[in-house]
Each structure stands twice: as structure tokens, then as C-alpha cells.
Structure 1
Amino acid sequence: MVPTPPPPTAALRRNIPHAIMIAVPYQGHINPFVSLALKLASRGIAVTFVHLDHIHRRLLESHSASVDDPDIFAEARRLSPELNIRYTTISDGFPLEYNRDQNGPTYFKYLVEEFPAVVDKFVGKLIADDMADSDSRFIHFLVADTMCAWPAAIAGKYNLVNVSFWTQPALVFSLCYHWDIMKQKGHVPNDNTTELEINYLPGIKTISSRDLMSIIHEREGILVETLTIVFDKVKKADFILQNTVQELESETLTALSKYQPNYAIGPVNFSQGLPTAAVSKSIWSESDLCNHWLDSKSRGSVLYVSFGSVVQIPKQELDEIAYGLLLSGVNFLWVVRAGTSSGDGDVLPEGYEEKIRDSDRGLLVPWCNQIKVLESPAVGGFLTHCGWNSAVESIWCGVPMICRPVMLDQPTNRKLVVDDWGVGLNLYDGGGSSPLVDRERIADKIRELMSSDKVRDAASRVKETVRNAMKIEGSSEKNFDQFLRDLKVRIQSSH
């Protein structure tokens, strides 16, 4: 456990709402969770933010910081001294050297079944230490990622208000929330190749079975078990925060609010006036080559390509995408992360990097600061796996997308991006993977996106909607203010 920063003065520590936040150790969850911590602290909430030891080490190593550096929030507090954030880490029970990526299913099973006991011990000690300190009387509450299996039990044991933070769109949340109804109807799991139309879920217009999250079609496994557990438990949460925008998912959010208080506060990563850039969030080392290269390209001429931090693409398909990029004649910046290919050997075709260097039309990097890339005037499109963070960041920057969803929430995110909001195109007909992966078709799709005024205009309109939501009088800010008012009433009544 790393040292915590010096405690606030006694005057500031009495009867202050105090959020206990333990981050999920995956990149797509870390980004919004850190931003939410800063947002809570900026509104006078005290925060204890907890990373796992191995994530802390990866964060520091990815930014070439000292592994002895105790506090990733130190610079943020220097810039904004009013932020009352304590930072610490805990062990997940495995050695730091244990390869959690290569042992993904085993490790995730541990997080679901065994890690809650670690959380229980940590929370119990934190509360006991506070009670023993005569100068400190925080009013503790939990802010936990919805995908955690432990919040309901911990909140119940220690009489804590339970705030659940959902980092994906409300549509995905609602589909998971109503999974039992679809099972009763016999629509999930669905092994049939025939598409089914689902038109009976509250707040959701007719949706095809092809657009359901991949996990919903699975019959067994730790992910299915976890989904069942967490969405049974989340129904006991006092409040649910949704990392989406009211105007984009109004019907779904209205229906969900009939069950529990739901607040659309997103995209929280873009909350204004917070020192988010001062906090290490990326567990991957970011290349510093991108911006200089982008500055040399004309406006809207570059396609950015990234398949996120987790997913894998079949090797044959990656080869076709690689040559499709060359055939398109479009400039491209491609994040070629180690492990992107599900096949053996190198991610890229033999000799491909030499072709890129000779043409000067492409730049290959192992990882990058995605927001900085998408903000570049040179970027005119984004070929993406359609993870929610990537989709939101692209929308925020007004960059149209080509969608190649792979797993989890990505097929449903694709539906929102392409079918509902019109800010993207499908890489393949039908929206998902294609049995007829062909470099010429990929090149055609790239050229179509980069020249499409229709998609670009839609991206500009949705960008304006999202940015307006994050303004002081915008829906997301108003919803967050209402959440804070409701939270303070609830925690006062519970004590």
C-alpha cells in the first residue's frame, strides 16, 4: 500500500460526505472513474481513491515516473488545492509479476469470487480508523463500478449509501438490467443464425438480436455468471450514475428512472475545469510521434485506427485491413498494440512497415494519447472497435467513425453510433464481422467515410449536443447537481 497524502485539517474533515472508490483494473474503466473522482472532489466531496498495486505500477511505468511515487493525484491537487482526494493502493492478492492479461479468465474469476473479501477488509479498516480519530468524522459512502460484484454486500454490512457508476451507454445497462425478461421469452441466449426482433423492453425501441452484447448470447462462463450477479445486486443500489447524455438516450433513461434514481452525467471524462490531464490514467506508454506527424498532414486527411486496449482481431482480417488502408489512398495513423492479433506471430504482414515508411502516408505506433489525436484538425475519421470510451471521445471531437465491433458492449455501441445517431458507418455489411473480409471493400469503406458530408454533418450535430450537455446549464451538469443534492439528503438520513 502506498502512503496516503497528509490528511485535511480537522475543520475540513468533520461531517463531510466521503466517497470510497476502488477502481476496476481495466483501462476502459479507469479513465471515467478517475474523472468522476475529480468531479466529486471539485464539488466538496472528500474522496479516497484506491488502485490495485499492479495498476499503480503500470501507470507510473507508462509515464516514466518513479515507482516509488506515492500519489497520482499530487499534481492535480497542486493545480487545484481545494480537491480533497486521498490516494492509496491495495494488493489484489497476486504478486506484481503475475501476468493478469495472459490469465484473463482466471484473474477475472478471482476478482468476482475472492477479491470482495479484500475490499471488505480495506473498507472496514478505513471506517474503524476514522472512528478512532476524534478529529475525523467523515460520512462514508461507496462509489463503485457497476461491474463489481461486492458493493451491495459491503454497503449493507457497513450501512453505506451505495452509488453505482455505469461506464457504458444506458442502452447496454438496460439490456443487462432486463436480461431476465429476454431469457423468459427464450430470446437469449440465442444460438440461431436467424436474427430476432426484440420489441418489448421498457424504454428500448425494437432492437435486433445481432445488436445485443456478445456476452448475452453465452450460456456459461465467468462473464455470464458475473453479469447475472452484478445486475441482480445493482437493483439494490441507492443511485446509478450513467456515463451518457440525456438527449442521446432519453427514452431509455426515463424508463430506468422508474426503478431507481438514474442520472446521465456523461461524458464525465470531459467535465470542465478539472485537472484531468494532471492524473496518470493510461496503463500503456504513449508515443510522442503522433502530433508532429499529424501537423504535417492536411485538414481531415487522416484516418485514425485503433482497436482499443483489450480486443483481438483475427490475423487474416488484420492483414486485409492493413492492405485496405494502403489501397484507400488515405493517410492513416494506426495504433498497433501488441496482442491486437488473435493469431500467432507478428500483428502486421511481413514487410508492411517498410511499405509504410516508403509511402509516408502512414504512421504506426504502439499506443498514443487518443484525445490529442482525435482533436487534431488533420484527423477526419476513426476506424474503431466501438468501445464506449473510444466512441464518446470520437463524438466529443466530431470525428466520424467506421465501426468494427468485436465483443462485449461493442455491437450495441455500434447500433447507437451507426443506426441511431448516424455518426458512423459499418466496416462490413450487417455491422459485425464479415465472412468475406476483402481489402478492396475495406478501402472503399474508408474512402466513403472520408468523403461523406452526411456522416460528417451528423457528427457535428451530435458533437454540439454532447458539448452542450457538459456546459454549466447543460443536462449532464444539472443532473450531477441533482445527484449531489439527493445524495446528501440520503446520507444524512442514513446517519
Structure 2
Amino acid sequence: MSTRYTPMAMANNQYQKPHAVIFPLPLQGHVIPSVRLALKLASNGFTITFVNTLSIHHRIRKSQPSSADNNIFTGAAKSGLDIRYMTISDGFPLGFDRSLNHDQFMEGLLHVFSSHVDELVGKVVHCDPPVTCLIADTFFVWSSMIADKYNLVNVSFWTQPALVLTLCYHLDLLRQNGHFASQDNRKDTIDYIPGVRAIEPKDVIYFLQATADNVSKVAHRIAYKAFDDVKRADFIVCNTVQELESETILALQQKQPIYAIGPVFPIGLATTVVPTSLWSESDCTQWLHTRSHGSALYISFGSCAHVSKQDVVEIAYGVVLSGVSFIWVLRPDVVKSDEADFLPTGFEDEIKGKGLIVPWCHQMAVISHPTIGGFLSHCGWNSILESICCGVPLLCFPLQSDQFTNRKLVVDDWRIGLNLCDKKPITRQEVADKIKGLMNGDQLGDELRKNMKEFKRIVENALSIDGSSEKNFNQFINDLKLKLQRKSG
């Protein structure tokens, strides 16, 4: 029988200084909001122990060659925040390519990673002040087990929209109604999920579109465990905005405590930089300064999604046909192969003076620049939230996971973006036409910009002192402290 720890048996007033250990999923799109949450909690009096995998830590350090500091939170600590930093093995050697061997990597996270987590938490649980709270990414399958063993408050951090969480939360309903894991999944509208008015099967998160023959993949096995485990969490913190998904959030709140606190950005820490990038960031400032207001398109497919060489070629020719200026982020591994030359022959010479291609950049620094008038995006949730905050309309090209559901929100529900392609395969002419529709000052482009301006206002209001996200965050802290008091009583 496992040992049960009771750190709250220490000084009676320790609940006033909560200590949370935070485990982000080891993907950049999950690390970024987790770092921001850590900063926000530390700014509100928490002690934080933040845990990155050795692989993520190594890549962040490699992307910062000028820095000799192994603690990514050194700047935050100098600002007076109590944030400790630790690393943990994910079970694979540093040289293992987690991107190209994605399924094998996920098998390790499913079966092996929890033992490393258990060992680390066992070591830090009695530090000063004692660890009282576990904050783990919802996709981890071990959170309730670790929280129960060490008597910690169990907080699940959901980094995607509430709509995606709700769909995954109701896997049983989708299965019972034949929209998931049946021999021939139904194609009609899904209209029975609490808090979801209606959604087409093509718009649900990608692994929920699988038939019975394809539901034993690692993504499904993780989903079954993770979305069963999240129902045991004491609290769910969600990186979304109440006003953007009010019906969905209200329905979830009938199940268990959930707090929409997004978009999670650190407050009062404008000069504190916590590195989270897995690649060295190119400085695009000089190029941006040479362009006119709203004239340039920003293109990026995020930190882990892959695209085919054929699609890269069609997008490249389509951008040229559109005639717009552009910055295109092309990761070295964006095409899932060993092929390094995936752009059309002579393309970089053809776009000189018109476009800039970089392997990576600081996205917020680019899309917040007045030169950027549109974003051709894979529809990662961080990218969508950042686009809204910067008032930049989207051209949507989802590639995996939640991105298809995110596109549904952007294009159908909120009308702040366009589909890049309504049919497959994509063609250069369609790419050119959609870019023109997004960027030019015609009726469609003007409507998107008008709608985006309203959504930017909504998000800014939510983040204000009296806004919904700030109120929900404060309510979460209050509820967490009450929970800690009861556990120590």
C-alpha cells in the first residue's frame, strides 16, 4: 500500500502561502500558457515549483545560446517572485526525435512518465513551504493518482478552448450516439452535448473522428484515461474567456468547478522574460518597419504540426500570386521527412523584396506590429488568442488535434477568420484568392476586421481589473485556499 503524505499537518498558517507544483505537457504550445499561469500565480502570492522535461529544458537552453543560466525563471525571481525550477526525465534520451517519433513518445508519456513524476513529487512535497497543490496539464493521465498519494489539491489546467474540453468530456455520449468509435460513424449534426448548440462531425477534435477500427491508437488511449481522470480534479482552470464560450462553460460548471481565466498573460511583468521557445528566434523588426500599415501577411504552422511538401509548394505559389508582402515561419521539421528543400526551386530568389522566410520568431512581437494585417495559421489555440489580442484576422489551415474545432469557432461562430480551403487538396489559386479576401479592403475583409476589433475589446475587458477572467482567477484562488484550509483542518 502506498504511503500517504500530509504536508498540511505542518504549520497551521501555511495555507496562506500555497505552494503549487506545475507540470506542463512537454510541447511548446502547452509550456507557454503553463509558464504564464506560473507567473500569474506567483504574482498573487503563490510559491511555484515549475517542472519541465529535460528535453524541453535542453531545447530552450539551446535556443538561448547567449544565456548561461539554467533556470528559465531567474528574471522572475529577481522581480521578487517565489518560483523554483526543476527538470525531469520523460523516459527518452535527449537525442531521441520526439517529433518524428510522436506515437512512440506518447506511449512513453502514457506508461513511463508517471513514475518519474511520483519520484520528483515525493522529494519536493516536504520543502518549505510544503507543496499543497498539483497543477497538471489535463492530457496527463496520472494527476489524481499523484494528488491522492501526496494529499494535494488536484488542479487540472486545460490549455485549449472549453468547447474541445466539453466534447472530450462527453466521449461516452458521442460513442452511445454512434458519432465516435462505431463501424460507420454518423455524419449528421451533433446536437446532444450539454453546452454545445450544434457541431458537425468534421469539426470535432481530430481523434474523435475515428471509427471503431482506429480507436486503439495512443492518442485515443491517452484521451480515455485523461478525460476520465479530469472528472476527479478538484478544480479545472481553462485558458479561455467566459464571454467567448459562456454556454459551454456554464454547462461544464454543472459538472465540477471550472474557471475561465484566459488568455493567460503575466501581469506587471513586462520586463521579465521567461524563455519558452524551442528554436532561436529571428528578429523581424527591421523588415516590418519597411512595410506599410496592415500590408503584410504572417504565416506560421506552429511548433509541432506537420504539413505535406505538396501543401507547402501550393501555399508558396499562392502567396506569390496574391501579391502581398509576407513573413513565413518555416520550421526545419515542418515537413515530416528528412527532406530539407521543400520550397519550390528558386522561390526564395523570386520573393526577395517581397517576403521574409525565417525558421522561427517571437510571434507576439510580429503579429502585434502594425504592419501585420492577417495571419495564415494552423489554428493553434495560443495563436488564436494572440491574434485576438492583437486584432489580426485569421486565414485558417488546421492540421491536427483541436485545430479543426478551433477553426469552427473562428470561422463559423465568431466570424473573425476564413477557411483557407473548403476542399482538398489545396490549390495555389484558392490560396491566392483567400489571401486577397483576408487582406484587401473589400467587404469581406472589412467585416472580418470589424468583428476582430469587437473580439479584441471583449478580451481586453475580460482581462481588466473588473473583467470576467480576472474575477474568475481571484475566485479560483479563494476557492483553492478554502479547500486547503479544509484539508489542513
Output the TM-score relative to the length of structure 1: 0.91
Paired position in structure 2 for 1:51: 52
Amino acid aligned to 1:222: V
Tell me whether 1:361 sits opposite 2:354 in the alignment.
yes
Paired position in structure 2 for 1:75: 75
2:196 aligned counterpart, secondary structure: coil
Amino acid aligned to 1:256: L
For residues 217 and 66 of structure 2, what CA distance do their matches in structure 1 show? 38
Q: Is the 8 A contact 2:179 2:185 kept in 1?
A: no
Paired position in structure 2 for 1:6: none
Tell me whether 1:186 sits opposite 2:178 in the alignment.
yes
| Match for residue 169 of structure 2 among 167, 174, 177 | 177
Q: Is the 8 A contact 2:18 2:133 kept in 1?
A: yes
Tell me whether 1:263 sits opposite 2:275 in the alignment.
no
Deviations 1:397-431 (A, max 9, x none): 000000011110000000001111110001112xx
Paired position in structure 1 for 2:415: 422
Q: Is the 8 A contact 1:327 1:440 kept in 2?
A: yes
Tell me whether 1:279 sits opposite 2:277 in the alignment.
no
2:293 aligned counterpart, secondary structure: coil
Query: Is the alpha carbon distance of 1:139 and 1:436 closer, same or farther for their aligned partners in structure 2, counting shifts above 3 Å?
Result: closer
| Match for residue 134 of structure 2 among 142, 159, 164 | 142
Shift of 1:139: 5.0
Any stretches of 5+ residues in structure 2 without a counterpart? 1-10
Amino acid aligned to 1:160: L
For residues 93 and 471 of structure 1, what CA distance do their matches in structure 2 show? 42
Shift of 1:25: 1.1
Q: Is the 8 A contact 1:63 1:285 kept in 2?
A: yes
For residues 422 and 415 of structure 1, what CA distance do their matches in structure 2 show? 9
For residues 349 and 12 of structure 2, what CA distance do their matches in structure 1 show? 63
Shift of 1:138: 2.5
Comparing 307-316 with 241-250, greater Cα deviation is found at 307-316
Shift of 1:126: 1.2
For residues 93 and 227 of structure 1, what CA distance do their matches in structure 2 show? 20
For residues 99 and 50 of structure 1, what CA distance do their matches in structure 2 show? 21
Comparing 69-78 with 172-181, greater Cα deviation is found at 69-78
Amino acid aligned to 1:247: E
Paired position in structure 1 for 2:148: 156
Paired position in structure 2 for 1:445: 434
Query: 1:396-415 to 2 correspondence within 5 Å?
Result: 396-415=389-408
For residues 24 and 227 of structure 2, what CA distance do their matches in structure 1 show? 18
For residues 407 and 461 of structure 2, what CA distance do their matches in structure 1 show? 23
For residues 458 and 323 of structure 2, what CA distance do their matches in structure 1 show? 33
For residues 423 and 276 of structure 1, what CA distance do their matches in structure 2 show? 31
For residues 161 and 321 of structure 2, what CA distance do their matches in structure 1 show? 34
Shift of 1:185: 0.7
Paired position in structure 2 for 1:202: 194
Q: Is the 8 A contact 1:15 1:138 kept in 2?
A: no
Shift of 1:344: 6.0
Q: Is the 8 A contact 2:19 2:129 kept in 1?
A: no
Query: Is the alpha carbon distance of 1:173 and 1:248 closer, same or farther for their aligned partners in structure 2, counting shifts above 3 Å?
Result: same
For residues 75 and 342 of structure 1, what CA distance do their matches in structure 2 show? 36
For residues 308 and 186 of structure 2, what CA distance do their matches in structure 1 show? 24
Deviations 1:160-187 (A, max 9, x none): 1100000000000000001111101111
Shift of 1:76: 1.7
1:97 aligned counterpart, secondary structure: coil
For residues 368 and 403 of structure 1, what CA distance do their matches in structure 2 show? 20
Deviations 1:185-234 (A, max 9, x none): 11113676973200011000111001001111232200000001000000
Paired position in structure 2 for 1:133: none
Q: Is the 8 A contact 2:462 2:469 kept in 1?
A: yes
Q: Is the 8 A contact 2:206 2:401 kept in 1?
A: yes
1:207 aligned counterpart, secondary structure: coil
Amino acid aligned to 1:111: L
Query: 1:450-469 to 2 correspondence within 5 Å?
Result: 450-451=439-440, 452-469=445-462
